[in-house]
Structure 1
Amino acid sequence: MAETKRLISLDAFRGFTIAAMIMVNNPGSWSHVYKPLLHVEWNGLTPTDLIFPFFIFIVGVSITLAYTKRLQAGVPKVPMYKKIVFRSLKIFVVGVLLWLFPKFDFESIRYAGVLQRIAVVFLFSALLFLNSKWKTQAIVAAVLVVGYWLAMVLIPTPGYGEAMLEPGANLAAWIDTKLLPGYMWQKTWDPEGLFSTLPAIATAISGMLAGHLILSKIPQERKVIYMFSFGFFAFVIGYWWDFIFPINKNIWTSSFVMVTSGLAAMVLAISLFFVDVMGRTRFTKPGIIFGSNAIAVYVLSDVWRLFFYQLKIAGNSLNVHFLDMFESAGWSLKFGSLLFALLFICFNFIPAWILYKKKIFIKL
């Protein structure tokens, strides 16, 4: 895995993660969804809960690979700072605009969100990378997850007299009510809120550390072994931590960081082995195509959603017509809902493929 060679496994991992994100966000009906394709209501973990932290982990890996190359090429830091800030602002603004689309009701603007969190995490993680070594980055990640845990379980939740870890009744939710402007996803708190973004930065740093391992000079097979082992170790720590600080995506608990980062590292290690070491790239192409314009495709899927879910044809939207067909035939509505989501992915694959073929790479 030479430094100048792109990691096919990482590109495919990014693309398949975005495809999974689009799938779980766009079922045929939210009333008919298989449980693994839903977020857990509070404590716990489903496959769907892995998607967002996996993407943030990939952001971290990409930061190390991209900016190491630029530093080695002698690119001055100041222009890089400007590009990092500008890119973060672009992603943040696009996230806000997606929330406003298509009505643009600025009275109910939401400043938190998936893209907004990615923007903030990217900003802090990239700046940290440019100004520190891997040991410092590891220490910062440890301080974030341990500090967040201690704050959440030791500081009494205002209004309750004790530390709470319930929906809307926890320190992170209280901080949202006091500091987060605009509309919040859960009315009084937001799963992409302010305080819970701190451990999300630790998720990105875990990816950055994986990137350092990828760029190290040790043999390729040993990189895979080390990455898988570190990932498994983090996974085990996270599940032990779950006993005192439950795994929870909504408030991005420290145990959630460890479990999901560990799983992401193990998946990447396996991908590295089969794709980049063994050269088995046959099934990676769809992921590479999606991953080459990952955020742009995600944004486009939100725009297409308007036509698939809100445009009325013969009195109903396309998703309703699709499920009506399944209901009339007596088939499973959950399967129909999943099939609609898969077809929606295929539809979004078309512009992704066109952009890829024309070598157009939109850098949001």
Structure 2
Amino acid sequence: MLSRYANNILNGLPANRLLAIDAFRGLTIVAMILVNNPGSWSHVYAPLLHAKWHGWTPTDLIFPFFVFIVGLSIKIAIDRQLDAGQARLPIIRHAMARMLKLVLLGWFLALFFYNFRDPSFSWIDDKLLSIRIPGVLQRLGLVYFFTVLIVLYWRTTGRIIWALLLALGYWAMLAWVPYSDGQGHQYQGLYAYGNNLASWVDHMVLGAAHVYDKKATPFVMDPEGILSTLPAIAGCLSGVLAGQFLMNNQLPLLRRITVLLLVGLSAVIVSEAWHSILPINKALWTPSFVLLSSGYACLVLGLCLWLIDHKGIKAWTAPFVVFGANAIAFYMFAAIVARLLLMFSVGEASLKGWLYTTLFQPLFGNYNGSLAFALTFLAVSYAMMHWMYKKGWFWKV
């Protein structure tokens, strides 16, 4: 039965479809929804949480994996468009429209909440007037657009130079550009929480009310802030370059897989060595973090290619294809449902809190109950995405 289910999904894919990328995308969105929706944030296993500051956990790799996959997709899509004779200007217009849609969706999620349990809650004051301007979808939109521009106007060498300039230039700014708190204190070259150049730029440009952590001192903090978007573009370009190498059909598939794995392993080793000089930090999106996450992305992609295209083991990819085919719809659906579970209440508790303490915690305990809630949330989301897949409903922005 499971084999028939997998075949029904996989046989419907175009013959030239790169299944490994679909599987990688699906795995990544599944991981994102899983870590974003525990039953209780007080009871989460450490690998399913972000690192508190320096260092990394598997959860820290999820967002940069998406950025890397965006780069892969850009390379494939633009090659197809240019081969079909499409001019650059319409491609740029389309990229700008997609960027704006992603930004608007991100702002929609930032505003989509009302605390019905708090009589003093003011949506105008607490949400609209203090909207978080950066965010995950906002960063994806910006990274996508600027990567498209670079890919359209620069070839391999130019793309490599851009990636290096963006990553190393960002490092140079963090290390050498001085900044002040306006009270006579001068700073330079710090990587502390709330005290680094990236935080200072967000504090000065966006304002203390419009970022993720409004209470960080002396400057507010946002992990998707302005300055740290520069190395994120470099991470996207690493996906472009990986896709460029992957599409080189003059090399045997196994050799391409081997090179991808070796490059990924080398990047991880170098980034860990670099950590002693420039900390691996997801919130700051340091260049060492870009190298680490791109290295692991190459390893995961290489492993998917080895299993799927070299060994022919494909059935396991079917559910991830379903998730990946509607990645933005999946993300939006999960984010909206998660907010609704917090907005509505049962007695004095939110609906989410009630479900966790009434059903999951008594059955499985604190940590396993929290994980069971996340897995159940994922299963419900899959049912919705599978229904959309069967209907042929694919939401593209």
Name which of 229, 232, 235 aligns with 1:203.
235
CA deviations 1:251-285 (Å, max 9, x no partner) are: 10010000010000111011011112222111101
1:303 matched residue in structure 2: 336
Distance between the aligned counterparts of 1:88 and 1:145, measured in 2?
22
C-alpha separation in 1, matches of 2:44 and 2:241:
36
2:38 corresponds to: 27
Q: Which amino acid in the other structure matches residue 276 of structure 2?
A: F
Distance of 1:111 and 1:259 partners within structure 2: 27
Q: Is the 8 A contact 2:363 2:369 kept in 1?
A: no
Q: Where do residues 2-151 of structure 1 align in structure 2 (5 Å cutoff)?
A: 5-103=16-114, 105=124, 106-151=128-173
**Matching residue's letter, 1:107:** L
Question: What do the CA deviations read for 1:195-250 (whole angstroms, capped 9, x no partner)?
Answer: 00000001100000011011112111111011111111211221111111100001
2:187 & 2:335 partners in 1: Cα distance? 42
Determine the structure 2 residue equivalent to 1:284.
Answer: 317
Pairing 1:241–2:274 present:
yes
5 Å-filtered alignment, 1:183-262, equals: 183-187=210-214, 188-217=220-249, 218-262=251-295
Match of 1:169 among 191, 195, 201: 195
RMSD: 1.7
Identity %: 40
**Of 298, 308, 311, the match for 1:265:** 298
Shift in CA distance, 315/173, structure 1 to aligned 2, threshold 3 Å? closer
Tell me the amino acid that sits aligned with residue 45 of structure 2. Y
Q: What is the aligned length? A: 362
Q: Secondary structure at the match of 1:123?
A: helix
Q: Provide the C-alpha distance between the structure 2 equivalents of 1:330 and 1:350, rounded to a whole number of angstroms.
A: 23
* CA drift at 1:309: 2.7
Q: Measure the CA separation in 1 of the matches of 2:230 and 2:15.
A: 32
Q: Which runs of 5+ in 1 are unaligned?
A: none
Q: Partners in 1 of 2:194 and 2:339 — Cα distance? A: 30
Determine which structure has more spread, i.e. the larger CA radius of gyration. 2
Deviates more, 1:303-312 or 1:126-135: 303-312
Contact 2:360 2:370 in 1 (8 A): no
Instruction: Report the TM-score when normalising by structure 1.
Output: 0.95
CA separation of 1:266/1:330 partners in 2, compared to 1, >3 Å: closer, same or farther?
closer
What's the secondary structure of 1:283's corresponding residue? helix
**SS at the partner of 2:129?**
helix
- Report the alpha carbon displacement of residue 185 of structure 1 after superposing the two structures with TM: 0.6
Measure, in 2, the Cα distance between the counterparts of 1:233 and 1:13.
Answer: 20
SS at match of 1:166: coil
Summarize the Cα distance change of 1:327–1:223 in structure 2 as closer, same or farther, 3 Å threshold. closer
How far 1:337 moved relative to its partner? 0.4
State the TM-score, normalizing by the size of structure 2. 0.87
2:358 is aligned with 1:332: no
Structure 2: stretches of 5+ with no match in the other structure: 1-13, 115-122, 215-219
Give the letter aligned to residue 346 of structure 1: A
